[in-house]
A and B are shown apart, each in its own frame.
Chain A
Amino acid sequence: MLSFIKAESFKLSKKLKSWLGPLLVMVLVLIAFPLSIDISQYDLDKFYFSIIIVSLLMTAFVATEGMFEEDFEDGSLEQEFLKEKDFYKLVISKIFVYVCLIGIPIAFIGALFSFANGVAVDSFGKVFLLLILSNLLLFNLFAFGNALSINKGAMLGVLSSLPLALPVIILLGRAIRSIQYEDGFFAVTTLMVGIGLMVSAIMPLIISVALKTHID
Chain B
Amino acid sequence: MKLFSVQNITYSINENKLFHNLSFEINSGEGLHIKGGNGSGKSTLLRIILGITSPSKGLIQSYDQDLKISYLGHKNAIKNYLTPIENLELLFSGDDLNVAFEWLNKFGLSHVQDELTASLSFGQQKKLALIRVLAQSSDLLILDEPFVGLDQATADQLNSFLAQKISQNAGLILTSHITPMIDCAVLDLGAKNA
**A contact set with B: CB distance below 8 Å:** 3, 7, 10-11, 14-15, 70, 73-76, 78-79, 81-82, 215-216
**Contact count A vs B, C-beta below 8 Å:** 44
By the criterion of a CB under 8 Å from any partner CB, how many residues of chain B are at the interface? 20
Question: What residues of B have a CB within 8 angstroms of the CB of A14 in the complex?
Answer: 79, 81-82, 86
Q: Are B77 and A76 in contact (CB under 8 A)?
A: yes
Q: Are B90 and A7 in contact (CB under 8 A)?
A: yes
Within 8 A of A (CB), among B64-99: 69, 71, 73-82, 86, 90, 93
Q: Is the interface of B mostly helix, strand, loop or mixed?
A: loop
Please name the residue on chain B nearest to A215 by beta carbon: B52
Inter-chain CA distance A14–B82, complex, in Å, is 7
Q: Is the interface of A mostly helix, strand, loop or mixed?
A: helix
Closest 6 CB pairs of A and B: A75-B75, A75-B77, A76-B77, A79-B77, A75-B73, A74-B75
Best-buried of B73, B74, B75 by chain A (most CB within 10 Å): B75
If A79-B71, A82-B50 touch, whether A15 touches B77 (CB-CB below 8 Å) is: no
Closest Cβ of chain B to A148, distance in Å, is 19
State which of B71, B79, B80, B86 has its C-beta within 8 Å of the C-beta of A78: B71
Inter-chain CA distance A73–B74, complex, in Å, is 10
Confirm or deny: B54 has a beta carbon within 8 angstroms of a beta carbon on chain A: yes
Pull 26 A–B residue pairs with CB atoms less than 8 Å apart, ordered by A. Answer: A3-B93, A10-B86, A10-B90, A11-B90, A14-B79, A70-B79, A74-B75, A74-B76, A74-B78, A74-B79, A74-B80, A75-B73, A75-B75, A75-B77, A76-B79, A78-B52, A78-B71, A78-B73, A78-B75, A79-B77, A82-B51, A82-B52, A82-B69, A82-B71, A216-B53, A216-B54
